[in-house]
Amino acid sequence: MQSSHSFNETPRNSPWAEVAPEDWNNWKWQLKNRITKLEQLESLIELTSEERKGCLFADKKLALAITPYFFNLINRKDTLDPIRLQVVPKVQETTTAPEELLDPVGEDDTSPVEGIVHRYPDRVLFLVTDRCASYCRYCTRSRLVSNAQDYNFHPKFDIGLEYIRNNPQIRDVLLSGGDPLLMSNNKIEYLLSELRKIKHVQFIRIGSRIPVFLPQRIDEGLCEIFKKHGPVWMSIHVNHPNECTRELAEACEKLAFSGVPIGNQSVLLKGINNNADIMRSLIHKLLMMRVRPYYLYQCDLITGSAHLRTDPREGIKIIESLRGHTTGYAIPQFVIDAPGGGGKIPINPNYIQSVTEDAIIMKNYEGKTYSYPLKPTGIVKNNLSNPELIQPMLT
Ligand SMILES: *Cc1c(COP(=O)(O)O)cnc(C)c1O
C-alpha cells in the first residue's frame, strides 16, 4: 500500500496544462522554467502594488525564483494564498525594523572557516551552496543565498571538510545552504563519501526544501546515493497543508524507502500558518507522509520580515492546543533561535503549576491539576501479595 495515494493529484493550470509529463516531471525542466522575472509573474497573476514593487527590488535583496510546480499550487484569485505569501516578494521586505538583523541568529560570529557554523561543540552547520530551487521571502540566510547582496559567499567543500576532519569533537554534520539537493548527484556523492570516511562523524543530515519546491529532483540516482552512504537523515521545510501534495508524498516515500528518516521544520508565519486548525491539518498530513514534525520556529528577526512575524505567544497557544489533543509524534518542538547566536531555545506551554518540598504540581492538557511526589510519603510496605512464595527467588 503506497501512502502517497491518499494525496490527490493537483490539476495543472495554464500555461502548463499542455506540458508533456516527461518535461513537467523532469527537475531540470522545472528549474529552466522557473519564474524569475516580474513580467513572467504578471502574465500569471494580477499582482498587488505591494507585490509589484517588491519584485522590482528583489534583485537587490533576495532573488525571485519559483518553480512552475510550486507556483501551480497557488490559488491565483486569492492575494492571501499561503503559498503565494511565502514566495512572491512584497515591498515590505525593503524596510528594516530596529530589532531586525542581516545575520539574525549570529552565524557569522561562530564561523571558523567559510561555510562552517560551529555553535554547538559536537555538531556543525555546513553551508555547501548558496542556491535554492525557489526563494522563501523570510529566508534567514538571505544575506548569502541567491547572490543578490554583495556578501561574496563562495562555498568550497574542501575547506569545510578539512575543518571537520581536524576537529574530532564534531560527531554531527548538518548540510545546508542554500539547498544541498540542488547540487548534482556526483557532488552530493562526493560530499557524503568524504564525510563517511571521517571516523568521528556519526550523524549526517541534510536540510532541504527540494522535496517541497522540486519533488521531481528525488530521483533514483539520488536515492541510490542515500542507500549507499546512509543513514542520512533529512529535515524538510513544509509550512502549510496546501504544500502536502501527491508529489511531495511520493518524494518522501522514495526517501523513506531509501532509508532516510525525515523530519519537518516549519516557521510560524503571520497569515500563513499561525492558526491551530491549519497547524493540526499540516502535522497530520506530515505523519501520513512518514514525516515527523521536528521544530516549529519563531520567525527569525531577519531584515524585512516584520509583515510575516507573529507574537511568539501565538506559537505557545498553538502547541498547547495540540499537546494531549493529538498524536504525540505529530507535535513539533517550538523554538526561538536566539538573536545574537544563543542557539535554539525550546519555548513550551507551562504545565508545571508549582514545585513544593514534597511534590511537583502539574496541569494536564484538559487543565486538571495533578501532583507527583518528590520523595516517599510514608512507611514503605512490601507490595507482594504473598512474600513467602517470592522469598526463595530473591535469595
Ligand atoms: C540548528 C542548528 C544545528 C542543529 O541543531 P539541532 O537542535 O541538533 O537540530 C546545528 N548548528 C547550528 C548552527 C544550527 O543553527
pLDDT tens per residue, range 53-106: 999 999 888 999 999 999 999 999 999 999 999 999 999 999 999 999 999 999
Q: Report the share of the chain in percent with pLDDT over 70.
A: 96
Give yes or no: 123 in active site: yes
The whole-number pLDDT of residue 389 equals 65
**Alpha helices per DSSP H over 230-356:** 246-257, 276-288, 312-322
Using the mean position of ligand 1's atoms as its centre, give its distance from the Cα of residue 197 in Å. 22
Q: Does the Cβ of 83 fall within 6 Å of ligand 1?
A: no
Report the 10 Å Cβ neighbour count for 319. 19
The string of pLDDT tens digits covering residues 214-252 is 999 999 999 999 999 999 999 999 999 999 999 999 999
User: Quick one: pLDDT at residue 154?
Assistant: 77
Q: Is 120 in the pocket of ligand 1 (CB under 6 A)?
A: yes
Tell me whether residue 136 is one of the annotated catalytic residues. Answer: yes
Note if 299 is an active site residue.
no
Look at residue 296 in the predicted model and tell me its pLDDT.
98
Question: Would residue 292 show up in a list of annotated catalytic residues for this protein?
Answer: no
DSSP secondary structure of 215-245 = GGG--HHHHHHHHHH--EEEEE---SGGG--
Predicted confidence at residue 89, as pLDDT, reads 98
Query: 119 CB less than 6 Å from ligand 1?
Result: yes
Q: What is the mean pLDDT of the segment spanning 267-296?
A: 98
Q: Which entry of 61, 103, 139, 254 is annotated as an active-site residue?
A: 139
**SS3 at position 151:** coil
> DSSP per residue over 99-133, as a string?
T-BSSTT--GGG-SSTTEEEEETTEEEEE--S--S
Kindly tell me if the per-residue pLDDT of 257 is higher than 70: yes
At the fourth CATH level, the homologous superfamily of domain 108-346 is Aldolase class I (3.20.20.70)
pLDDT at 7 over 80: yes
How many secondary structure helices (H) and strands (E) does the chain include?
Answer: 14, 12
**Per residue in 176-191, is it b (16+ CB within 10 Å) or e — as a string?**
bbbbbbbbebeebbeb
- Helix, strand, or coil here: 176? strand
Distance 125 CA to ligand 1 centre (A): 7
- Whether pLDDT at 130 is above 60: yes
Choose the catalytic residue: 34, 55, 84, 132.
132
Mean pLDDT of the chain: 94
CA–CA separation, 210 and 177 (whole Å):
12
Out of 35-44, 152-161, 253-262, 311-320, which region has the weakest mean confidence (pLDDT)?
A: 152-161
pLDDT at 358 over 60: yes
Annotated domain spans of the chain: 2-90, 108-346, 350-395
Q: Could you tell me if the CB of 173 is within 6 A of ligand 1?
A: no
* Beta carbon of 284 within 6 Å of any ligand 1 atom: no
267 vs 150: which has the higher pLDDT:
267
pLDDT tops 70 at residue 390 = no
Which residue has better confidence, 267 or 385?
Answer: 267
Dist. CA 301–CA 294, nearest whole Å: 21
Reply yes or no on whether 141 is catalytic: yes
Please name the residue that has the C-alpha cell 503559498. 83
- The confidence score (pLDDT) of residue 12 equals 95
172 noted as active-site residue: no
Ligand 1 closest atom vs CA 235 = 9
Quick check: 156 pLDDT over 90?
Answer: no
CB 117 near ligand 1, within 6 Å? yes
Q: Tell me the pLDDT band of 4, cut-offs 50, 70 and 90.
A: confident
Q: Please state, as a whole number, how many other Cβ atoms lie within 10 Å of the Cβ of residue 46.
A: 10
CB of 336 closer than 6 angstroms to any ligand 1 atom:
no
179-188, 294-303, 380-389: which range is least confident on average?
A: 380-389
Catalytic annotation on 344? yes
Sign, CA dihedral 264-269-275-276, equals positive
Q: What is the pLDDT of residue 395?
A: 62
**Per-residue pLDDT averaged across 294-302, rounded?**
97
Q: What is the band of 387 on the pLDDT scale with cuts at 50, 70, 90?
A: low
- The confidence score (pLDDT) of residue 6 equals 87
